[in-house]
């Protein structure tokens, strides 16, 4: 006799297997053409007078294509940006997108909520801090893109895709608004 936990595990494994089969069947129809691959670039900017800034990964998704959102849960897997640990800088938070994903609450293929970034430019950003003693303009960043690009003709995985990271300059900190006068005076 199986316990409830084991039944759930077997059920989850079967469901995952069926999703993988569906992805492979869909992807096998026709390959993604070279012009349908996203252009991925990366840079970092540092706030003037500071050792803090932003690591920015820009993904240009071709017309008629999409990638899965950073916030995608379950299958298909989300897009991920992997940054190797470094002695020269610290990643202060996880990456986030500058755009909200397109959401399908109950996708007919996957039977669940699916979140994607559709065609166009998406910036994936994470705050960083440079360790004292390091040149702000010459960081070595080991960054890899994990995800897949999909269109009506199929999907192409882009796992462990190295992305060169370039220094993009300094920026001025945001100006604080003038403090409101104390109304008690």
Q: pLDDT (tens digit, 9 = 90+) per residue, 87-132?
A: 999 999 999 999 999 999 999 988 999 999 999 999 999 999 999 9
Q: Assess contact for 98 and 123: CB atoms under 8 A.
A: yes
Phi first, then psi: what are they for 34, rounded to 5°? -55, -35
Tell me what pLDDT residue 181 has. 53
Task: Please state the pTM of the whole predicted model.
Answer: 0.78
Tell me what pLDDT residue 43 has. 98
CB neighbours of 173 closer than 8 A, spacing ≥ 6?
47, 48, 49, 50
Tell me what pLDDT residue 21 has. 43
Positions of the chain with pLDDT under 50: 1-4, 6-8, 17-29, 182-185
Tell me what pLDDT residue 25 has. 43
DSSP codes, 65-78: EEEE-TT--SSSPP
């Amino acid at each position: 006799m199986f316990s409830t936990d084991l039944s759930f595990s077997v059920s989850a494994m079967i469901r995952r297997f069926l999703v993988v089969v569906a992805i492979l069947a869909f992807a096998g129809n026709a390959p993604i053409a070279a012009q349908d691959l996203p252009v991925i670039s990366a840079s970092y900017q540092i706030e003037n007078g500071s050792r803090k800034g932003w690591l920015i990964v820009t993904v240009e998704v071709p017309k008629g294509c999409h990638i899965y959102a950073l916030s995608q849960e379950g299958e298909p897997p989300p897009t991920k940006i992997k940054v190797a640990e470094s002695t020269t800088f610290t990643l202060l938070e996880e990456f986030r997108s500058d755009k909200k994903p397109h959401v399908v609450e109950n996708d007919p293929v996957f039977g669940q909520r699916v979140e994607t970034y559709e065609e166009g430019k998406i910036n994936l950003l994470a705050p960083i801090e440079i360790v004292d003693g390091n040149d702000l303009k010459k960081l070595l960043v080991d960054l890899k893109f994990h995800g897949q690009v999909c269109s009506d003709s199929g999907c192409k995985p882009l796992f462990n895709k190295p992305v060169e990271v370039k220094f993009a300059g300094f920026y001025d900190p945001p100006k604080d608004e003038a403090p409101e006068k104390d109304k008690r005076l």
